[in-house]
Each structure stands twice: as C-alpha cells, then as structure tokens.
Amino acid sequence: MKFKYVIGMDMAKESFALAVHNHPYEKEYGNTAKSTRQMLKTISKVLKTPNDQCLFCLEHTGLYSLEMIKQLSVQQIPYVVISGLELKKSQGISRGKNDPMDARRIGEYAFLRQDKLKLHHLPSPALIKLKELLSLRALHVRNRAGYKARYNEQKKVLKQCENPFLFQSQKKLISVLDKQIDKLEDLIGKLIEENEKIKYYYDLICTVKGVGLVVASQIIVKTNCFTSFRDWRKFGCYSGTVPFPNESGKTKGPRRIHHTADKPMKVLLTLAAQTAILNDPEIKHYYNRRLKEGKTKKCVRNAVRNKLLARIFSVAKRGTPYVVLHKFAA
C-alpha cells in the first residue's frame, strides 16, 4: 500500500521529534498522551490529509514509545515499529546525531521500504500485562542468581560468625526474591486462566514435553498469540536457533547460528531442550543417536530446540494437543 506521506518519529523519555519525509514540517513534542493527541490533530491540518493516509514510523524504545503506539492504535492510524539495530544497519556511513536528524532518517527508511514493512498492531491488554509480569520475573531471577553466586563464593572464604550481617542480609534478600517469584508465577497462571485465547494456546503448547509455564508464556507473548510469525523457522531465526550458510566463492564453512537474536528466548529454549532430552523418550533417543553419528552436543541440542519449536507451532496451527508417537512404535 502506498501512503501519501511517511512520518518518522524519534521517541525519547520526555519528548519525541517528528519529521515528515519530503516535506519541511519538523517539530518536537512532549511525550505525553495530551501532546500526542495534539500532534495528530496538527499533522492532519498541516498536511491537509487524513491521518489514515499517512504512515507513521517509530523506533522501538519500550515504555517510551508505548503511549504513542496506544494513541495510533485507538485512532486506527497505520504505523510501523522498527528495531533500532535494523535502522542502524540500514544507514551505512552516517555522521552526527540528534533527535530531529534521527526522525528524518527513520522517515526516509520507512519511505524507501514501505512496500515491505508490516503494519504493527498493539497486543491485547492481557498480553501487555503478561509481558510485564514475565519481564519482572526475569529481573528477579537474575538478581536472585547474582545474590546466590555471591553468597556461595563468600561462604567458601569468609567465616559466618565474623560477618553475621553480611550473610544474613543476602539470605534474607534471596528468601524475599523466592517469595516474589512464586507470587509472580501465581499471577501469571491466574492471568492465563482468565483469558480464553491465551489459555487456549497455553494448554495446547504445554502438551509438548519440555515446555512449561515460563517458556509457553514467553512464546505466546513474543508471537502475539502466533500472529507475528508465519512459521517456526521465522521464530527460530528471531530466537537464534536456525543455522545459516557461511560460504564465499569456493570457500564453504559450516552452517552457523547468527549472533543477532533474542538471547533470553534462546536461553529458555535451551532449558526446554535439556528438559525434553531428559523426559521425552523420543527426543532422548534422537539425541543419543545423533551423538553416535558424530555430531557435537551443541549441534544436537540446537536441533532439539528446533524440534520443540516445530512441535509448538504445529499444535498451535492445528488446534489439537501434541500426540506422543513414540509409544506406538513397534
């Protein structure tokens, strides 16, 4: 779809810069709901064009861009959200940086690629809330791991009787984080139970061995209930589990996974693969067979991650639970 105007926006914490591609209008606004609504009215008047004939493009900046996305979604204005890394890689050699300049670059990027860009759709309130709960849980888990590692290292060297507060304080913090993580998991479980669509996909993908509460919830959030990715290979590419060729002329290297990926999601898939290797007879047999064929553990473990993704997307697309075929083998 061709748009009459393409508008680039550089979002910051307290303000955002706006620039219309191939048009002199540029301005900075406060990053508030009121300023955003005023901006949308002003743009329509300045360009003498309805906002639904303009394409708004903004860089993904987490919470800083959330209010803008909400306003654009409520008014049904077409917009796209792009990765900062994608934008940076597309610029080639560039010099200088400020908010208006970044807005112009974002607008130019969207104008040149508007035929290929996919319009963004705001996830449901339940998915946004689920994402925030998972994010907070991940933060608590990281902090708890840090305290545990420090506590165990100090216990090997220092005497607890000489440093009572040092050890008691860390033990108390670990205990508090344990309780907070348990509470967050309860809230995540209740949220899933209360939302029919989320529960539908959650129950389906949890039939795949190795997939539990956190992995299933994260996949549902990342895929926006399996609407953001067409198949498991696309999601595997996003998560960093799909290998790519490494060739140049006659030189052919081994296929390798690209470093650009959602690393936390990749870690969760690794944990799920390890669980499946231990508890799924079919996966365990496949894992041992591939090792005997001379494959490395790292290579086979990655293949298991992709097998799990293929199963997850299959049951979600098919709408029926995963069937364990191993028990029917002769």
- Arithmetic mean of pLDDT, 263-268: 94
- pLDDT tens digit sequence for 36-89: 999 999 998 999 888 888 999 998 888 888 889 999 998 899 999 988 888 888
- Is the pTM for the entire model greater than 0.85? yes
Do residues 120 and 80 lie in contact, with contact meaning Cβ atoms separated by under 8 Å?
yes
Cα 250 from chain centroid (whole Å): 37
Nearest to 267 by CA among 238, 240, 249, 299: 240
Reply yes or no on whether the pLDDT at 231 is more than 60.
Answer: yes
- pLDDT tens digit sequence for 153-166: 988 888 877 778 88
Reply yes or no on whether the pLDDT at 93 is more than 80.
Answer: no
Reply yes or no on whether the pLDDT at 215 is more than 90.
Answer: yes
- Alpha-carbon distance of 121 to 144, in angstroms, equals 35
| pLDDT score at 192 | 95
Reply yes or no on whether the pLDDT at 213 is more than 80.
Answer: yes
Least confident of 158-172, 235-249, 316-330: 316-330
| pLDDT score at 1 | 61
Query: First vs last Cα of the chain: how many Å apart?
Result: 55
A 10 A CB-CB count for 281 gives: 12
